[in-house]
Amino acid sequence: MAAAPHYQADVDAILATRRGNGADFWATSDGRLSKGGPFSTLEAPALLTELGVDPSEDALQGAATLLLDSWREDGRFRLSPSGAIYPCHTIYAARVLCRLGYASDDRLLRTFEHLAATLHDDGGWRCKKFSFGRGPETEFSNPGPTLAALDAFRLAGRTESAPTDAVEVLLRHWVTRAPLGPCHFGIGTLFLQVEYPFASYNLFSYVHVLSHYDQARRDPRFCEAVTVLQAKLVNDQIVVERVHRRLAGLAFCHKGEPSELGTARYREILANLDDQ
């Protein structure tokens, strides 16, 4: 595995979970690909590529095959044998497949066409799953999947064709901060804690993704978010404030400690800002 030697134990620990959900490549015995996070078919490959594992490695290509087998002709992904297919399923599957080297695959091209054609009225993406009941806030897009979709577009080298309204949805949310969408994504205490590796709707991932979009880089709302993130640096390094409990034992993302790889992601933000 092509990871830095001091992260090999982390790589091995993640690989050791590949059959932990009942089948190989982090799938469950009944074929679900999103269950078991962060050690699911949908998430574990992203962790490994973040650690520097080559996407061509067998475990990652095995996961990619399962995800591609779940692709449908209309561009969506069915991540479980039954049940509804939500926009977030397609968004998250597209994002990880881009990380695994499939950004130019014809199936992914169809998926990006599908995403561009299925925007909600306000310009982002919205799942019609009302876990918190219905209210005025649920008429808006879900900021979390919208951020993930923009991440998928940038991983595919498609920032120029990404919907500009989706960027505006996220910039506007920085001001309103209220829980939005059927899944109630808000900007509060947990959002403002630096989370690494990127997993949920969070300040660090918010700034990282939007830094790839010129529309955001020129916006004072984004600049304010950058300032908030920079205030959390310690000796110009990213210190992890929040991490999934199942990742707590991994060296690359110890809570309360500087993260070398997280800091590398922060430097990407700086490089993007220098390019504006």
Where do the structural domains in the chain lie, given as residue ranges?
1-117
CA distance 86 to 230: 35
pLDDT along the chain (276 residues), means of 10: 80 98 98 96 98 97 98 97 91 98 97 96 84 70 95 97 95 94 87 96 98 97 98 98 96 97 98 87
Q: Which residues pair with 180 in a beta bridge?
A: 185
pLDDT at 144: 95
**Phi/psi at 234 (5° precision):** -125, 115
Amino acid at the residue 100: L
pLDDT at 272: 97
| pTM, full prediction | 0.95
pLDDT at 10: 97
pLDDT at 1: 41
DSSP code for 221: H
